[in-house]
Structure 1
Amino acid sequence: MTSAPVLALRGVSKRFGAVQALTDVELEVHAGEVVALVGDNGAGKSTLVKTIAGVHPIDEGAIEWEGREVHINRPQDAQHLGVATVYQDLALCDNLDVVNNLFLGRELRRRGVLDEVAMEQKSRELLDTLSIRIPSVRIPIASLSGGQRQVVAIARSLIGEPKVVILDEPTAALGVEQTAQVLDLVERLRERGLGVILISHNMADVRAVADTVAVLRLGKNNGTFPVQETTQETIIAAITGATENAVTRRAARTAEAAK
């Protein structure tokens, strides 16, 4: 990547009282790039995402947006820049249909009245563009599968035309087919030129769609790896902080058996 990153974290630190959650963290996300943010539980992934999303303002360091330093103190600041975050709980309203979930808080009005026709049309156009398949845009969210709910939540994040989308464990608790549907959508986000931050514990998902893997360990950077040039064993070693683990031992046994 030679162009300037759309989003960059420079020496970002965050503490909560006596707890140092992040220390001098560096991260870059370019347009059209999927960056997988990985690490063990408690590594600081959620805190890092919330600093970008404006939930937890940083204590030290700088956040750059398209090459200039910006201050993100509230979620509205992140949204105005062009950062959209899809949290693991999705925050969908089960009793509302797809259209009303997509435009929740961003409703279109005409002469002071909700423009249901325009919202339905734009919903269909957005879902068609992303190749999202659901029975109807007027079906209640409660009637959708887990994978369909996930892709609707991701589609909703695009209503504001963001430049960076953060996905927090988007395939957690999904089946094989539903996971494939979500990963296909992640690839389409990249094709649209968006920067994507993908938080995941699933190395298969990471290797399927990510361009770069950024590892956090104990609130600090512990390596940034191009996916195509890095083994899974190397990434897991960076996550665990150990040069030897079950995965590396299994790989060694396999290599020995092949001789």
Structure 2
Amino acid sequence: MSDSQLMTNWICVCAEGDTVDGRYIKRQWITDAAELYDPNLYTALLWPEHSRNYGNRGRVLELMSQEGDDGVMRLYARLCPNLSLMQANADGQLLFCSAEFTPDGNFRGTGKSYLEGLGVTDEPASVYTERMRFSKRHKNKRYGALKPLAFDEVKEIKEEVKMSGNKKKGWRSMFSIEEELPETPAEGDKLQALAEALADIETRLSALEGKAEETATAVEEVQEDVDTVKEVVDTQEFKTLRDNIGGIVKNFSKLDKRVTQLPSRNPGKGRQPFKFL
């Protein structure tokens, strides 16, 4: 069954440069992550405080990298937050996000970094919130700087997922999104369909009229032949011939009997018959 979920607008999740704890995030990590990211291959999930102990809070749909007017390369993401993250964000919690890159920078032997997760946290943003920083609690991880996470623009997406009616009502009411009703054909579409149907009927009628005219012409020609024969039959000469046909047949029979016989080849009964030249 196809249900709706939310998709955010493009949110900046990290930027290149120095971190607050003295480390540095390379531009190449950002461009690699944007280039490689494929949720069908590996989906980056949203983790509260980067912890996997409490369940995820959504997922990353797509990434892109973009250089700003200040020359800083930034990584942007479209997110699909779940109801718990949206509720926490509305309550003023989990307001920031932080990128999690491949620890060794070699995702599946590609030699490139991949966005493997995205942390959401309650830690307040510092003056370097527009820059990258590592988490001091996880020295072996590559984390991005804290970024404000504000769902200021969302829309629905269609996917093959199961969602209870209560959850759907919850996030729709939270963002004042009205449930989409099945689309009905516009009046213009109905009129267009009616016009096309009438045009088709008119074409068929024209074809039938053409056939009727051809049939009428053929009947008229036959009628002319019949009239011609009738005129001949109705003449006095034809009537006289018809009345005398019996006598003509009798006379013809008598004439046939009186046909002259050919002489015998040996009329004198001699030894030798006539020799015909």
| Same structural fold, with TM-score higher than 0.5 when normalized by the shorter chain | no
Tell me the TM-score normalized by structure 1.
0.22
Larger Rg over CA atoms? 2
TM-score, structure 2 as length reference: 0.21
